[in-house]
């Protein structure tokens, strides 16, 4: 795997990890009644969804022809994912959603009453699958063996899950556990204040990576 592929996968994983709504949902779930169970279910749904896509990639990989046609197809997928993500970001820019207002997603208002099962399903729903598809395409184009591909996929899933799992890390240290409410409150304020910067700055980088790689792969 070359440096460009590693950088691309890291950038894609970071974009998923810092998705403001996903991290904010994790914080609100862990502070709700029965929050620990809900947050664990939420993270499990997220990880399982990404793992399922990654596992399918590893299993299907040996049957995919390593040809110029396959390479062109992967480049087309990357270009499409980049353009689709750009369109989604543009739509979000034109239709901003803010927590605590009428414009926020309907599920945000139901987090307190949400059951662990629904939290699990929400975790599987929230990842941006344009980014997931692009990451899968990048892994498949890296020329790795099946074992190496499986290792890369596991590392990528873990990195992409750090954002939604971060509230659980606070509870692992007794000193932080005592201050958990204050820590979560500070995180919530920061995320709400910087959500647009996080989403659009990282999103712009991801779009540029995907579009450029897709175009280069189609032209060369």
Q: What count of other Cβ atoms lies within 10 Å of the Cβ of residue 183?
A: 16
Res. 146: pLDDT tops 80: no
One-character DSSP codes across 126-186: SS-HHHHHHHHHHHHTT---HHHHHHHHHHHHHHHTHHHHHHHHHTTSHHHHHTHHHHHHH
**In sequence order, which residues have a C-beta less than 8 Å from that of residue 100 and are 6 or more positions away?**
none
What residues contact 212, with CB distance under 8 A and at least 6 apart? none
Q: What pLDDT score was predicted for residue 103?
A: 57
Mean pLDDT of the chain: 81
Give the domain extent around 74: 3-103+111-219
The continuous run of DSSP H or E covering 103 comes out as none
What is the structure's pLDDT at 98?
59
pLDDT value at 17 more than 70: yes
Distance CA 48, CA 32 (A): 23
pLDDT digits (tens, 9 = 90+) for 48-98: 999 998 787 667 655 445 555 556 767 787 788 888 888 988 888 887 765
Q: What is the pLDDT of residues 92-122, one digit of tens each?
A: 888 776 555 555 666 666 777 788 999 999 9
Count of structural domains, the chain: 1
158-187 per-position pLDDT tens digit:
999 999 999 988 877 777 777 888 888 888
pLDDT for position 209? 79
Half-sphere exposure of 125 (CA within 13 A, CB side): 9
Q: What's the farthest any 2 CA atoms get from each other in the chain? A: 57
- Is the pLDDT confidence value at 47 over 90? yes
pLDDT of residue 67: 53
Higher pLDDT, 145 or 128: 128
pLDDT band at 39, cuts 50/70/90? very high
Distance, first Cα to last Cα, the chain: 19
Please list, residue by residue across 173-182, b when 16 or more beta carbons sit within 10 angstroms of its beta carbon and e when fewer do: eeeeeeebee
């Amino acid at each position: 795997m070359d440096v460009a592929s590693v950088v691309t996968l890291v950038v894609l994983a970071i974009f998923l990890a810092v998705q403001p709504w996903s991290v904010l949902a994790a914080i609100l779930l862990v502070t709700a009644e029965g929050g620990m169970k809900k947050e664990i279910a939420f993270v499990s749904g997220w990880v399982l969804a990404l793992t399922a896509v990654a596992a399918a990639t590893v299993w299907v990989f040996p049957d995919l022809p390593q040809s110029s046609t396959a390479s062109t197809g992967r480049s087309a997928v990357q270009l499409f994912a980049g353009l689709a993500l750009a369109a989604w970001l543009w739509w979000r820019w034109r239709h901003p959603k803010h927590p605590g207002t009428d414009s926020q997603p309907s599920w945000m208002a139901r987090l307190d009453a949400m059951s662990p099962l629904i939290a699990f399903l929400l975790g599987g729903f929230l990842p941006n699958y344009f980014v997931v598809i692009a990451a899968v395409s990048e892994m498949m184009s890296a020329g790795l063996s099946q074992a190496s591909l499986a290792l890369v996929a596991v590392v990528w899933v873990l990195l992409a899950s750090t954002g939604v799992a971060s509230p659980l890390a606070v509870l692992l240290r007794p000193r932080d556990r005592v201050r958990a409410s204050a820590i979560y409150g500070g995180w919530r304020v920061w995320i709400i204040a910087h959500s647009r910067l996080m989403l659009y700055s990282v999103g712009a980088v991801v779009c540029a990576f995907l579009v450029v790689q897709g175009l280069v792969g189609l032209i060369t």
